[in-house]
């Protein structure tokens, strides 16, 4: 999956750069997330593991990449790859059970919450002056795991999470000319959400960018800072004949640089 995304982004960027097809736009961006976790997990029990108080998970600091292909008449396509990894060592504030692993009070634990997110968004834009509303759908593929190790016994329990998630996609670009024919300020906001059968997934990204217009040969350059918020609420997802429940939030700053052909 990851190899396919890299190949798609590279081949599309090369094609767009080489052909410079009129009315066809391509954006290639690289970003950096610094996100803090909060919330809880339950696996095969009714006792919860708190991500902050019990597991002491630190921030995830990872690069991500995305490409946007905007075609005339047809919808635009956005493909994203975002890895996340949270690790921590903590002393549990109260006992809990995670799968077949029983963690008693005051035990020391090592924990990992790691997953990759692959997003394919298909959307239309409305040609409104200075504002570019966007609406469509996203399919998010979540692939990862949650793992806890009791350092007193070296016993480990792991829950593998693989989940395709269809979502509604809404967004908008707000463009303010900064220096005519040289640069713009762009505020880019997008949100993805779905809720069903007790599950809900939210993914919000807001970025303010400075865009340099039409640099010869290269195209348009941009750089930006912003904020990302995600919430993953899972209700009784069966994993290895055990129910997995969670209400986890990830939030923090991001930075992006990229090219627009």
Q: Between residues 65 and 14, which one has the greater pLDDT?
A: 65
pLDDT per residue over 98-157, tens digit each? 999 998 888 899 999 999 999 999 999 987 878 889 999 999 999 999 999 999 899 999
Q: Is residue 52 part of a domain?
A: yes
For tokens 């040609």, the residue is 127
Chain centroid offset of residue 227 CA: 11
Chain centroid offset of residue 197 CA: 22
Residue 17 in tokens: 């750069």
Q: Is residue 214 part of a domain?
A: no
* Residue pair 132/123 in contact by the 8 Å Cβ criterion: no
Least confident of 14-23, 63-72, 135-144, 207-216: 14-23
Q: Is residue 194 part of a domain?
A: no
pLDDT per residue over 53-95, tens digit each? 899 999 999 999 999 999 888 999 999 999 999 999 988 878 8
Average pLDDT over residues 230-259: 95
Q: Is residue 179 part of a domain?
A: no
Number of structural domains found in the chain: 1
Look up the domain containing 75 and give its range. 2-172+236-260
Cα-based torsion angle of the residue sequence 163, 166, 168, 172 in order, rounded to the nearest 10 degrees: 70
For tokens 């779905």, the residue is 194
Q: Is residue 63 part of a domain?
A: yes
């Amino acid at each position: 999956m990851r190899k396919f995304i890299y190949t798609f982004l590279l081949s599309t960027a090369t094609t767009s750069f080489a052909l410079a097809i009129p009315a066809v736009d391509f954006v290639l961006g690289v970003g950096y997330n610094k996100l803090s976790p909060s919330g809880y997990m339950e696996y095969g029990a009714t006792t919860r593991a708190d991500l902050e108080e019990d597991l002491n998970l630190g921030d995830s600091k990872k690069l991500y990449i995305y490409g946007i292909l905007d075609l005339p008449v047809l919808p635009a396509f956005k493909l994203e790859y975002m890895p996340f990894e949270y690790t921590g060592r903590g002393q549990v504030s109260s006992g809990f059970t995670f799968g077949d692993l029983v963690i008693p009070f005051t035990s020391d634990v090592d924990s990992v919450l790691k997953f990759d997110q692959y997003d394919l968004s298909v959307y239309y834009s409305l040609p409104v002056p200075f504002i570019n509303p966007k609406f469509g759908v996203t399919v998010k593929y979540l692939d990862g795991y949650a793992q806890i190790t009791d350092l007193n016994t070296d016993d480990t329990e792991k829950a593998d999470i693989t989940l395709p998630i269809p979502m509604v996609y809404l967004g908008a670009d707000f463009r303010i000319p900064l220096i005519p024919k040289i640069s713009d300020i762009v505020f880019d906001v997008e949100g993805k959400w779905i809720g069903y059968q007790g599950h809900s997934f939210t993914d919000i990204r807001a970025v303010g960018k400075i865009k340099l217009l039409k640099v010869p040969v290269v195209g348009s350059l941009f750089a930006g800072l912003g904020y990302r918020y995600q919430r993953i609420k899972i209700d009784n997802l069966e994993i290895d004949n055990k129910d997995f429940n969670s209400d986890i939030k990830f939030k923090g700053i991001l930075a992006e640089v990229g090219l627009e052909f």
